[in-house]
Structure formats: C-alpha cells, structure tokens
Structure 1
Amino acid sequence: MPESRFLLLSDVAAELNVSDSQVYHLVRSGELSAIKIGGRGQWRVERTKLEEYIAEKYAETAAWVRDNPLSDRETD
C-alpha cells in the first residue's frame, strides 16, 4: 500500500517523536509548511514538505556543530 501524500499533525508528531502541540506550533509559525482543508480547517502536511523540513534541520544542525566545536571539557 503506498504512503499517503498528506499527513495529519499527529502523524507528523509521531514521525518527529514530538508532541502534537509542538507540531501545531511549527505549522502556525510557518516553520513547517502545511495546508488547511475542509470546513473545519484541518491541517495537513505533505510528506515531501516534512522530508524537506527534516533535511533543513540536518543542515542547520551540521552548521551549528561546525560553528560550535566541542571544548576539551565536553570530550571527557
């Protein structure tokens, strides 16, 4: 069975191992792209947008690690 194109916020939370409210904040802040659909305005995140978000976080983390090397005290 093929994967769904769109994910519920709870699905995204499970993928990222964070709370539903954290995902809602990411969406409402614009950090994670999502769409509102239906009469009740339910949020959906496209799987490709989630993968792009994850890739961006890896790049940001790599840059942070590069710019903030371990000190001698942290390696002990």
Structure 2
Amino acid sequence: MTTERFLTLADVAEILNISMSQSYALVRSGDLQGIQIGGRNQWRVERTKLEEYIEQAYRRTAAQLAELPAELSETAER
C-alpha cells in the first residue's frame, strides 16, 4: 500500500475491503470525493478525503442505529 497523497481506486478498494467497481461507483456518485486525471478515466482520491468519507460513514451508521427501536439495535449489536 502506498503512503502517497493520492490513492488509486484500487488502493481505495483495498483499504475499504470492497471491489474496484464499488470504489468507482463511490467516486462517480460523489459520495467519495475524487479527481479525474487525464482523459482515460483515471481517478485519484486524496487520502484525507478517504478518511473524511470513513468518518462520515461512522456518523451515518451511528445515526441510523440511534433511530432503531431498542430491541432491534440490541439484535444488530450481536
């Protein structure tokens, strides 16, 4: 894994343990901020943007769990 400022979508997929197509879908949808380099669909994601995305995912998950009825959230924690 690289320690460079910018990550490839393969790097993103490895870090998040998802497929390349899922990492591509995240940047195409705008859920994960990335930049397109050149004309051949080369995407790069700044490491800090990936960390922000992960933090937002934790907040979204916590908010969704907080909205569940108590018995459902207890089952989800198991």
For residues 67 and 9 of structure 1, the distance between their equivalents in structure 2, rounded to whole angstroms, comes to 33
2:7 maps to which residue? 7
Quick check: 1:51 aligned with 2:61?
A: no
Q: What is the TM-score when the length of structure 2 is the normalising length?
A: 0.84
2:30 aligned partner, one-letter code? G
TM superposition outliers: structure 1 runs of 4+ over 6 Å: none
More helix by share: 2
Aligned residues: 75
Corresponding residue SS for 1:45: strand
Bigger radius of gyration, 1 or 2?
Answer: 1
Structure 1, unpaired ranges of 5+: none
1:29-68 aligned at under 5 Å gives the runs 29-68=29-68
Displacement of 1:69 after TM fit?
A: 3.8
Runs (5+) with no aligned partner, structure 2: none
1:71 positional shift: 1.5
CA RMSD of aligned residues (A): 2.3
Measure the CA separation in 2 of the matches of 1:30 and 1:64.
Answer: 21
